[in-house]
Amino acid sequence: MRVLVTGSSGQLGHDIVERLMFEDALVYAPSHEEMDITNANSVKNTFDLFKPDIVYHCAAYTAVDKAEEDKKSCYDINVTGTKNIADNCLKHNSTMVYISTDYVFDGTKEGYYEIYDKPNPMNVYGETKWLGEKETERVEKHYIVRISWVFGLHGKNFVKTMLNLGTTHKELNVVDDQIGSPTYTRDLANTLLEIVNSDEYGIYHATNSGICSWADLAEYIFKVNKMNIKVNHVSTEEYLRITGAKQAYRPRNSKLSKSRLDDNNLNKMTSWHTAVKKYTKILNKNNS
């Protein structure tokens, strides 16, 4: 099995490459210099030489706030880049795995978002990821996997930010009106391999189980790390007023239904509590 992984320097891409080391697979994880996904010829040359059976397309422009001002770069990477990958998956009959996001939804629904709910992205990042989904759907053998609130060992994320701020602050304001599920990339990498091995193509939602607000998540991070930090639960509007920050719109409801994993008897990821505990234990070990 020949497997191509884009975005291997990121949190998820790195963990997928690590996970594939335990499979009978020849893995190629090109750097940006080796394959520029926004350059059609660069992608074509890579596919023609490597001829992948499966492509995990993890490369993405993920700077949500910056994307509002830098629309072209965001579009080039998330839409044009995905189109180039999809075109070559079609040519080589490769299976395409596209990593999408809760941001394709507007967050106004009551209850959980199902895979068949109509997307309505409210920021540039979400819009480009949805357009990337449309490009992926052109590939006969495709998986679109929507995730949310990602944290892993290789890159920046909310957990690391809270741990860093906890060393310099005794009190933090964290929003409590955005609700969703954290996603630990090591757990996700295992689930992605199960999804791909199922041959049940289409859209999936995959996050750790359970839901929380960002404020709930911050409190738990401090609790398991025995850090005495007070977390003030504030609304998004209040947070922006206090900090003076300018942010792209964030969905208030990012609860993604994982019913398709159940329907296909696939691994539902462990609770976000367990994931955070495992993750911070590794972080602390690496930092000691």
Catalytic annotation, residues: 125
Confirm if 40 and 84 have CB atoms less than 8 A apart: yes
Q: How far apart are the first and last CA of the chain?
A: 38
Q: Give the three-class secondary structure for 269.
A: coil
**Closest to 143 (Cα-Cα) out of 64, 49, 260, 9:** 260
d(CA 9, CA 11): 7
97, containing H or E segment: strand 95-101
Phi, psi of 123 (to 5 degrees): -140, 170
3, containing H or E segment: strand 2-6
d(CA 185, CA 282): 13
d(CA 244, CA 126): 23
